[in-house]
Chains A and B, each alone.
Chain A
Amino acid sequence: MKKYIYIISFIALFILPACDFMDEIPTEWHTPEAAFQLETTYERNINQGYAYIRNGYNRINGAFLDAATNDGTATMLNSNIHKLAQGFYNAQSPILNIWNNSYTGIRQTHFTEKYLKEVQLFLNGKTEKDVADIKKEGIAQMWALRALYEFDLLQHYGGYVIIDSYMEISDPRFNTLERSSFETCVNNIVTLCDSAALYLPVKHANFGRMEKGTAMAIKAKTLLYAASALYNRSGNTNPLVGYVNASAVDIENRWKAAAAALNEVINLKNGAVNRYALHANYAALFNATPNQNNEYIVFYATAQGNGLERRQYPPTLSVTSGGGTVPSQQFVDAFTNADGSAYTRASGAAPTYTGRDPRFDMIVGYDGSNYGPRGTIYTRLGDGETNDGLNQVKDFSTITGYYLRKFLNTTINFSVASPGNTYHLFPFIRLADVLLMYAEAMTQAYGFESDPQGYGLTAKQALQMVRTRAGFNAATDQYLAGVTTKDAQLQKIYDERRIELAFEEARYFDLRRWMKTDELSEPIKGMRIDNNAGNLTYTEITVDNQRVFEEKMYFAPIPKNEILVFPALQQNPGW
């Protein structure tokens, strides 16, 4: 008996380590193959491609990018937006760092594309061809998204690193990545958009997805940028930041290409009617129910909410915060009179808030401004002073004497238990933008009032379409009165862009591509209003006199870490 015990024990001693108990490994994680084959989940992979589209409503510390232009500033004193506007940024803390986000998005589009191609998919009630079409469309969505992410890189950095396929961790290309020229990048975006447009539907039932027009608009805007002054500087020798040795003919051809592409977007047909149309009401456009919004082309779509109102309402209408991004006095002065004639205010004079561009009330909150159901707000100091008054509550009250009224839905009411929610889709490209870009390109290519290509729309007509929707009467509009030279015509288009696209991230890049950067270094002005027993006195104040623009700021710095790790990546000039 004992002998057996010995024997068994010894055998056990050497068997135990021989058994492998290690086979129990996790089996419940998601493999892409499994997830993308499932009817219920295959779309998630496609959906994820959209997750990196940026939301301009909270770009930098909750402030709009436009707060770093002469259109406005932000009430948060230590917000990074001020550092951006005042030039306190560098490659190590670039502030406007979209490098990471864009490339994460680009990788996701490659990842989705790879698995859409590789994985076998069976869908209920669908033929093999249906599935192939679904896959094709999914891949086309990825191309369009990649074009969007790449355009974002282009407008920030100039030439960027083109990643053309999914990279495994062991990919040798990791060591040789470098930036492509501006020209190559433009061509890459155009190719992506052209390819995507082939497979994308004109109108998607699922609002918010990439459509044919989306791809076409990204392409058109890219071409417009490519034709712009910044990228066609004479004597430029750095291919990363624009064309080298651009001739006048090259430039003209670029404007023509842009005009053609923009025209295609304007005239994109959904059946018999145009796919895109201007929304009837400028103010309501930004809170429109998605399926009734035919003006947005490229945008950030998200669920309903009221965070924007909470942040942007004047403090008396918000709960705990308020303020945020606020317009400047020079922006207020930029609005024309109601008849379209230029508004001028003598230095130090009191501003006029009535009889202005119809969009003024929809964009700017001022002393005595009507917030619809939320009543009237006052920014004056002294008698009847509220927290909305200039500098009343640190970080929340206005510092310019104005509030941003645009985008806000004044049915949102924070004084009741359920304040309500509204749509806040942030537009990157909408039809009004396309029309104004078209006007710009046409003027540059062919002249303000000619249409030699037979597009059916002159620059002037495109401009007027936007102004008519804004509430101007085309018959009586004084806007173009006496405007005859090309430069003056272009200036009118630029001015219209400033008002129409205010706080939509247009001006930050427009001023750069037009090379009108003097405006980026002008001090930000505000208006102090004192109320002494009903007597209002107006004092113009300087809110920020440290605005800076330097040559290098045309382009954002590539994050320093990236350069330090891969010296082959060339930094932008001056950084």
Chain B
Amino acid sequence: MRKIKYSIREEHKDQIERWANYVRDNPQEWKAKLKPFLDAQIIMARRFYNKLAETPEGREKIKLLKNNVKLG
């Protein structure tokens, strides 16, 4: 089990390094590739918060959720 975990961690690290190298070597191209991913995260989270806000005590729950998340 420990070996599998290690392998996943290493693969993740490799992926981060491959992508960082791509960004460095393709300064005019990386943004177009990354934008859909970054925007989708915000759009989906907004959709979720908007739905939650319409439920009873939804706005209070959102405040609690946001205060509970380590932001950054």
Does B bind A? no
